[in-house]
């Protein structure tokens, strides 16, 4: 387990984790980075793809989180209280994911179609006070965001917390 926490004071400047930071940690199973304003995650994060099971990026300001998609054995991913604007398509590669926490991410505007439905082992999806741009089911080529019908693909889902501002618009 490795914990890297910022002070959460909302500094305007971005922190940077050195590109080779995780090179000597290939057996790491839990990585908890909280309250840091990061532009992106370092390339050496991909070296954790075999063993990393839990990644917490709570309270972080991240502009690019696509690298997380390489962590194929990840079971828990949390972005709670983060300033993430888009859940990248690469997240669909996390087929071992059991818990996805996107709670209290009011800036989350985009979840590409079929990303959530690709997470077939998902048991717990938390999106309280977060994403609200669910789209009606229609041709995949017309949609820009996730649809509530995607949740039907998640046969192991036992806990769900989402926000739907107006069910009549779906």
What is the tens place of the pLDDT at every residue in 75-120?
A: 999 999 998 889 989 999 999 999 999 999 999 999 988 999 999 9
- Give me the pLDDT at residue 167, please: 61
Q: What is the CATH number of the domain that holds 78?
A: 3.80.10.10
For the entire predicted model, the pTM comes to: 0.90
- Rounded Cα gap, residues 105 and 86, in angstroms: 10
Q: What is the pLDDT of residue 139?
A: 56
Number of separate domains in the chain: 1
Inside any domain, residue 63 = yes
14 assigned to some structural domain: no
- In this predicted structure, what is the pLDDT of residue 38? 82
For 102, the 3-state DSSP assignment is coil
Owning domain of residue 136:
2-7+21-169
Give a yes or no: residue 13 inside a domain: no
- Which range (1-15, 98-112, 145-159) has the least confidence? 1-15
With respect to residue 137, please indicate whether it lies within any of the assigned structural domains: yes
Torsion of CA 94, 37, 17, 65, to 10 degrees: 20
Beta pairing class for 86-87 and 99-101: unpaired
């Amino acid at each position: 387990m490795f914990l890297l926490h910022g002070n959460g004071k909302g500094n305007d400047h971005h922190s940077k984790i050195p590109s080779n930071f995780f090179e000597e940690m290939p057996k790491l199973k839990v990585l908890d980075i909280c309250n840091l304003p990061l532009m992106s995650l370092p390339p050496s994060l991909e070296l954790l793809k075999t063993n990393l099971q839990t990644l917490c990026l709570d309270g972080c300001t991240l502009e690019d989180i696509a690298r997380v998609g390489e962590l194929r054995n990840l079971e828990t991913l949390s972005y709670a209280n983060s300033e993430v604007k888009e859940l990248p398509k690469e997240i669909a590669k996390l087929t071992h994911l059991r818990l996805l926490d996107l709670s209290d991410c009011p800036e989350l505007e985009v979840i590409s179609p079929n990303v959530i439905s690709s997470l077939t082992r998902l048991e717990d999806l938390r999106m309280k006070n977060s994403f609200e741009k669910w789209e009606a089911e229609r041709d995949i080529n017309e949609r820009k965001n996730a649809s509530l019908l995607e949740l039907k693909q998640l046969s192991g889902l036992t806990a769900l917390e989402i926000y739907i501002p107006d069910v009549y618009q779906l």
